[in-house]
């Protein structure tokens, strides 16, 4: 009942409750009120739901950690939207730095062609992994391939296969266990 009452309070009143009383219900109310709006704003810029969710989560974490010093000049909503905008800019900047670093490495030819021994070992490891994957139950193998080879998140796998995230995690754990048993000392190469 108290939480419902908070939904009718203004953003400034909720922020005051968070700041002065460390009120978790007031924080939940602000979180619920603005999560979707901020996620939408972040997603429009990033086109990645996972990254957008991480950014919005970071904004709310920052809000909570800095609750005592935050005093929005206009409104809490404007403050949160501006925070998302800056987090997105920082994300783009870090991506640019990463790409610049990779380009520098590629241009300076620091990438060395593997030796014949390394190529053979890699081929041998690949064959061992393929054989081990064939030993896995079908659903376990499918989840593992989607996770490690297609780089899908647990949420994306769960959605695609129509299973729970906890089931995805169990399949991945089981797959690693099977790999550990069958690859022995070579598992660190994978």
Encoded tokens for 167:
């089931």
pLDDT in tens, 81-99: 999 999 999 988 888 888 8
pLDDT over 60 (residue 186): no
- Residue 178 contacts by C-beta under 8 Å, 6 or more apart in sequence? 132, 135, 136, 140
pLDDT in tens, 127-183: 887 888 888 888 988 988 888 888 889 999 999 899 998 999 998 888 888 888 887
pLDDT grade for 3, boundaries at 50, 70 and 90: very low
Give the residue among 131, 21, 19 at the shortest CA–CA distance from 64. Answer: 19
**pTM (whole model) above 0.75:** no
So what's the pLDDT on residue 188?
47
Look at residue 114 and give its three-state secondary structure. Answer: coil
Please give the mean pLDDT across all residues of the chain. 83
182: left (phi over 0), alpha (psi -120 to 50) or beta: alpha
């Amino acid at each position: 009942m108290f939480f419902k009452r908070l939904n009718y309070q203004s953003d400034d009143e909720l922020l005051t409750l968070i700041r002065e009383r460390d009120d978790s219900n007031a924080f939940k109310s602000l979180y619920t009120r603005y999560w979707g709006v901020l996620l939408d704003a972040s997603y429009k810029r990033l086109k990645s739901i996972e990254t957008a969710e991480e950014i919005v989560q970071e904004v709310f974490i920052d809000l909570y950690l800095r609750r005592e010093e935050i005093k929005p000049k206009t409104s809490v909503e404007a403050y949160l939207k501006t925070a998302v905008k800056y987090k997105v800019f920082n994300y783009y900047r870090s991506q640019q730095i990463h790409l610049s670093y990779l380009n520098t490495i590629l241009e300076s030819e620091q990438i060395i062609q593997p030796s014949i021994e390394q190529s053979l070992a890699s081929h041998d490891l690949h064959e061992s992994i393929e054989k081990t994957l064939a030993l896995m139950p079908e659903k376990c193998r499918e989840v593992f391939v989607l996770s490690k080879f297609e780089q899908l998140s647990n949420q994306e796998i769960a959605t695609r296969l129509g299973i729970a995230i906890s089931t995805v995690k169990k399949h991945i754990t089981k797959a690693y266990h099977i790999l550990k048993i069958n690859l022995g000392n070579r598992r660190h190469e994978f």
